[in-house]
Amino acid sequence: MTAELQRRTRPTTPTLHDVARAAGVSLATASRVLNGSERKVAESFRERVERAASELGYTANASAQATARGTSAVIALLVADIADPYFGLVASGVARGADEHGLIVTVAITERDPEREARILRAMRGQRPRGVILAASRADDGDDSTADELAGFRALGGRTVTFGPGGERSVVIDNRGGAEKLGREMASLGYRRAIGLAAAEGVRTSDDRLAGFTAGFEAGGGEVVRVLRGTFERESGAQLMTAALGDGVPTGTIVFGLSDVVAIGAMTAIRDAGRTVGADIAVCGFDDVPASRDVTPRLTTVRVPLTDLGYQAFRAAVDVEWTQPDAELEVFVRDSTPPIGGAS
């Protein structure tokens, strides 16, 4: 087959010109109908254009639509790690809201890297999303690149939503208050010695949870005797716990993981060391992801309504008026923290 014959027989994607020609309208009219222009088009012309587009299998150019409308039918969601169930639950709430409004969710992974986060925001700005939701916990390291990118996005008319301070609108999780409740509850069960497994200093979520747990635990007569720092990953929880066990962990110690994922990693390390989770070394976490109820023993934790908060973040991105409902954080005491010393 000659190159010329291949060119002629190769299937082609229908263009806006093809639709305009088939509908018998001008290119400008076809563009107004299919690219979302706010300029009025006669209903008879609209029907002809939409019918021609359907028959030809034409798909509107998203970039052209964004240019015509000043925004696209996209909500941009930035998370630290899509494999972390915390962010999966947040994303499910955002997706539920987007489905209700006929919008699409684009998810990007920041890996908690400020430079990567700013680079993603810069790239997304060109796509003109309806709103940007920044769900990843960030470090207070003085880097203004993300703030600059969010400001640039707002200057184009987009709305920015963050989990924690920093956006035009903020979804607030009372990490410190919830962790303080947990610390008090663990002290009331008879625990007096705790080890904290946290992220690097300066990471807001980790700092708030560790500070809250320490305050509550000490108020109940306990002491956080050691803090080991790593990341939010399960592997980090296992590694930090292994290091702690190497230095010696007395029976009756309670381990606070900054998240359920970290706590579950710690539980694995305890078992691998031939110790028992619960009556020997107790473990508690934070978030109440589904896996916390499936592990053995079931994990004591603080329930955060992550799916509902994801939905609220979506509403914050699209609603003209928005006020976040109160989100009460509840402590769930389970088998991983049995009472000791006669406590009940």
Whether residues 202 and 282 fall in one domain: yes
Among 171, 194, 210, identify where a domain stops. Answer: 171
**Contact indicator for 76, 127 with CB cutoff of 8 Å:** yes
Residue 37 confidence (pLDDT)? 55
What's at 229, amino acid-wise? R
Whether residues 155 and 190 fall in one domain: no
Full pLDDT tens readout for the chain, 344 residues: 443 444 444 456 778 778 788 888 887 777 777 765 556 777 887 788 788 877 877 765 555 454 444 456 899 999 998 889 999 999 999 999 999 989 999 999 998 888 888 888 888 887 788 899 999 766 665 567 888 888 888 887 788 999 887 678 999 999 999 999 999 999 999 999 999 999 999 999 999 999 999 999 999 999 999 999 999 999 999 999 999 999 999 999 999 999 999 999 999 999 999 999 999 999 999 999 999 999 999 999 999 999 999 999 999 999 999 988 888 899 999 999 999 976 65
- Alpha-carbon distance of 259 to 80, in angstroms, equals 14
3-state secondary structure of 205: helix
CATH code of residue 43? 1.10.260.40
Whether residues 184 and 280 fall in one domain: yes
Residue 300 within any structural domain of the chain: yes
- Alpha-carbon distance of 341 to 252, in angstroms, equals 9
Q: Which domain holds residue 290?
A: 175-305+328-332
Residue 319 within any structural domain of the chain: no
**Contact indicator for 160, 154 with CB cutoff of 8 Å:** yes
Whether residues 82 and 143 fall in one domain: yes
Whether residues 183 and 230 fall in one domain: yes
The structural domain count of the chain equals: 3
Residue 61 confidence (pLDDT)? 53
Residue 239 within any structural domain of the chain: yes
Residue 30 confidence (pLDDT)? 73
To the nearest 10°, report the CA torsion of 88, 203, 309, 213: 110
Q: Which residues pair with 170 in a beta bridge?
A: 162
Among 171, 193, 226, identify where a domain stops. Answer: 171
Residue 60 confidence (pLDDT)? 57
**Contact indicator for 130, 71 with CB cutoff of 8 Å:** yes
Residue 140 confidence (pLDDT)? 61
Residue 316 within any structural domain of the chain: no
Query: 271-297 burial string, b = 16+ CB within 10 Å, else e?
Result: eeeeeebbeebbbbbbbbbeebeebeb
Whether residues 166 and 186 fall in one domain: no
- Alpha-carbon distance of 56 to 50, in angstroms, equals 10
Residue 311 confidence (pLDDT)? 96
Whether residues 163 and 134 fall in one domain: yes
Residue 2 confidence (pLDDT)? 43
Q: Which residues pair with 169 in a beta bridge?
A: 161
Whether residues 126 and 147 fall in one domain: yes
Residue 201 within any structural domain of the chain: yes
DSSP track, 46-112: HHHHHHHHHHHT----HHHHHHHHSS-SEEEEEES-TTSHHHHHHHHHHHHHHHHTT-EEEEEE-TT
Nearest one of 234, 340, 341 to 295, comparing CA atoms = 234
Residue 88 within any structural domain of the chain: yes
**DSSP E strands, the chain:** 74-79, 104-109, 131-134, 159-163, 169-171, 193-199, 223-230, 253-257, 281-284, 301-303, 330-332
- Alpha-carbon distance of 99 to 314, in angstroms, equals 11
This prediction has a pTM of: 0.78
Q: Residue 71: which residues within 8 A CB-CB, separation 6 or more?
A: 128, 129, 130, 157, 158
**Contact indicator for 130, 157 with CB cutoff of 8 Å:** no
Whether residues 209 and 126 fall in one domain: no
- Alpha-carbon distance of 69 to 65, in angstroms, equals 6
Whether residues 166 and 185 fall in one domain: no
CATH code of residue 237? 3.40.50.2300
Question: If phi over 0 gives left and psi between -120 and 50 gives alpha, with beta otherwise, what is residue 126?
Answer: alpha
Residue 136 confidence (pLDDT)? 78
Whether residues 56 and 147 fall in one domain: no
For the chain, what's the residue count?
Answer: 344
Whether residues 277 and 221 fall in one domain: yes
Nearest one of 125, 257, 281, 121 to 191, comparing CA atoms = 281
**Contact indicator for 204, 139 with CB cutoff of 8 Å:** yes
